[in-house]
Structure 1
Amino acid sequence: MRLDPTRLDGLMVVEPTPHADDRGLFARTFDADVFAAAGLPVQWPQCNTSWNPRRGTLRGLHFQAEPKPEPKLVRCTRGRIFDVAVDLRPGSATRCQWFGLELSADNRRALYIPPGFAHGFLTLEDATEVFYQMGERYDGSLASGVRWNDPAFGIHWPQAPVLLSGRDATYPDFPA
């Protein structure tokens, strides 16, 4: 397993190193020692699954505000997604910048998203499932988001969404 830094400070692609033989393959997807050495969380008190029957479903961009911001470790366990993280940290050199990549059941990658980032994804196939490890417990009073198509971010989604919630469609412009 490798942690590959992105151009956004603290945002990491987790790249498993599969070992294959005639039985199939084996790959480590999390190692507390590797994460700790990189300064990343090793405790994940909550895990979530998102099932998405339709291609073109957009979820996000979500975050949990202070005092309990959520780091996340996100992987696609069935199908494919275009996964996006946006840096919202005040004072960050990459504030309002985004990073996106394809996560899929086939590539087995994960994205580590630090606290202070918004997160969202667009399904690229029908019957897509996403698994989240959360570094903080959900607190509905701190749940928030930014609009998926806010011009402050200029995200280049691979296609327009077909399905999204009213809440996700109507977040106000981000005060950049």
Structure 2
Amino acid sequence: MHAIPQSIPDVFLIEPKVFGDSRGFFYESFNQQAFQEATGVRCDFVQDNHSRSSQGVLRGLHYQLPPKAQGKLVRVVRGAVFDVAVDIRRGSPTFGQWVGALLTEDNHRQLWVPPGLAHGFLVLSESADFLYKTTDYYSPAHERCIRWDDPQLAIAWPAVEAPIQLSAKDQAGRLLAEADL
């Protein structure tokens, strides 16, 4: 496993060692010891989630307030997404900045999004299966959403052939300047 630090502290792009031949491939999608050695992050995952979405679906930018803030280790097992993490930690030198990564079934990359960051993704392929581990349980009372198109964030979402599709929750997202943090 190789962890590549991103421009926001504590965010890592994870590249697992993939072993492949004419029969297919194998890799460890998670190994706690290797993850901790590569990132310096010690965490316990309590929930695994799996979503399937069609092209143009944009989910996010989601986060949970303390004491239920979630760290997420995200990956794609089918298709391709543009994955984004936004620093919403007040007082952070990178507050309001974002990082994005292309996650695909072929590159096997993962993104570690620590607690205190908002997260979202846009499906680029015809459909995508997106898996993520979380460090705390889903808590609707603590869940919040920042608008994916907040001009303050100016996220450079890639163009897709299908129109952007948002859930009602994501359509009601707030601007960062107005968000509960």
Partner of 1:87: 87
How do residues 62-77 of structure 1 correspond to structure 2 at under 5 angstroms?
62-77=62-77
Q: How far 1:67 sits from its partner (Å)?
A: 1.1
Q: How far 1:107 sits from its partner (Å)?
A: 0.7
Q: How far 1:35 sits from its partner (Å)?
A: 2.4
Aligned residues: 175
TM-score (norm 1): 0.93
Amino acid corresponding to residue 85 of structure 1 in structure 2: A
Candidates 173, 176, 180, aligned match of 1:174: 176
How far apart are the structure 2 equivalents of 1:126 and 1:22? 26
How do residues 90-169 of structure 1 correspond to structure 2 at under 5 angstroms?
90-159=90-159, 161-169=163-171
Q: Is 1:43 aligned to 2:29, yes or no?
A: no
How far apart are the structure 2 equivalents of 1:42 and 1:21? 33
1:21-44 deviation line (CA, Å, top 9, x unaligned): 333222222221122233324421
Amino acid corresponding to residue 136 of structure 1 in structure 2: D
Q: How far 1:16 sits from its partner (Å)?
A: 1.1
Q: Which moved more, 1:149-158 or 1:13-22?
A: 13-22
1:129-156 deviation line (CA, Å, top 9, x unaligned): 1001011111110000100000111100
Amino acid corresponding to residue 175 of structure 2 in structure 1: D
Amino acid corresponding to residue 164 of structure 1 in structure 2: L
> Runs of 5+ in structure 2 lacking a partner?
none
Partner of 1:13: 13
How far apart are the structure 2 equivalents of 1:77 and 1:110? 10
Cα root mean square deviation, aligned: 1.5
Q: Which runs of 4+ in 1 moved over 3 A?
A: none
How far apart are the structure 1 equivalents of 2:9 and 2:57? 28
TM-score (norm 2): 0.91
How far apart are the structure 2 equivalents of 1:29 and 1:172? 34
Q: Any idea what SS the aligned residue of 2:176 has?
A: coil
Does the Cα contact within 8 Å between 2:145 and 2:174 map onto a contact in 1?
no
> Runs of 5+ in structure 1 lacking a partner?
none
Partner of 2:58: 58
